Amino acid sequence: MLVHLVRRLIYVLPVCFGVSLFCFLLVHIAPGDPLASIMPVDASAEQQAAMRTAYGLDKPLPVQYAIWIGKALHGDLGKSIATGRPMADEVFRAVKKLLLLAFTASAIAFPIGLVLGFVAGYFRDTIFDRLVTAIAVTGVSVPNYWLGIVLVIIFSVTLGWLPSMGAGPGGSTQWSWDLAHLRFLILPSITLAVVPIGLVARTVRALIGDIYSMNFVSMDFVQALYAKGLRPRGVLRHAIKNAAPTALSVMGLQLGYLLGGSILIETVFNWPDSGFLLSNAIFQRDLPLLQDTILILALFFVLMNLIVDVAQAAIDPRIKRN
């Protein structure tokens, strides 16, 4: 297991380098001058040159990349062009809100998706299967931003049960684990969880349905378990363990999707996390803030894939040989 972990860590290093390089180049090839939003319209050539020098934009791209990544490795993300404030505070404050929303949505989506998928696969070709399939297809097909608006209309405007936007009472962005703040988390979490519920349910349904059902046995190892005298409950436990690596892979990808956030959902609910920060950075052409936010989100996604790889190897030892 240790050898597999070390091998995966070695694989992650070039991936992280590629991600950082891609993030750096992606924002530089975009049209427009990042200093245009803060530079006076009648700025002289000397003022423009001084401004570019102050932000390090006068250097060649390889030098800019080396300086940027060197500072980032030491925890210095620089200053925002639009606000002049240190970006580390803004980025990590937004990332905390993103992690809170993403893990809450995952805590809703994964158990529900697993249970629905298991029921549909176990009772394949029955009314339960058709009902779960309809729910899963609807969840994947419905635009989540539209669903968010509908939930706001129903539970905020019509019934008045839940707040419609924000992260805290009175527009506060500080989070606290109390009922007043948790009420603001319910609607965006449910909205963000709908798509993963559908995808996880469909995946688990296909896996369990192919391995084991009440009406037939399709896998040789299941027949062997029955031949050894194992009871249905024990056979089912082995079937779930056989399906777990694939299901875990799908859930890891979906958690990465949730960590990436959804700008539309965050706009609907005015949730102040990284998606909201990214949209502001794009509109303001805040190049350093855009770079750092994309880099942090991409590294989170890489980290989640690493955790999923290690977890899959722990569940299924055959994966260690690959």
34-65 per-position pLDDT tens digit: 666 566 666 677 776 777 777 677 778 788 88
pTM of the model: 0.73
> How do residues 98-132 score in pLDDT, each as one tens digit?
788 888 888 888 889 888 888 887 787 788 888 88
**Going from the N-terminus, what domains does the chain have, and what CATH number goes with each?**
2-73 (no CATH), 87-321 (1.10.3720.10)
C-alpha distances (whole Å) from 100 to each of 29, 211, 274, 310 are 33, 35, 11, 23
**Strongest mean pLDDT among 17-31, 67-81, 196-210:** 196-210
The string of DSSP codes covering 174-238 is ---SSHHHHHHHHHHHHHHHHHHHHHHHHHHHHHHHHHB-SS-B--HHHHHHHHTT--HHHHHHH
**pLDDT tens-digit profile of 280-291?**
776 766 777 777
Closest CA to 293 of 246, 319, 260, 244: 260
pLDDT tens across 232-245, in order?
666 667 777 777 77
| Residue 92: pLDDT over 70 | yes
Whether the per-residue pLDDT at 32 is higher than 70: the answer is no
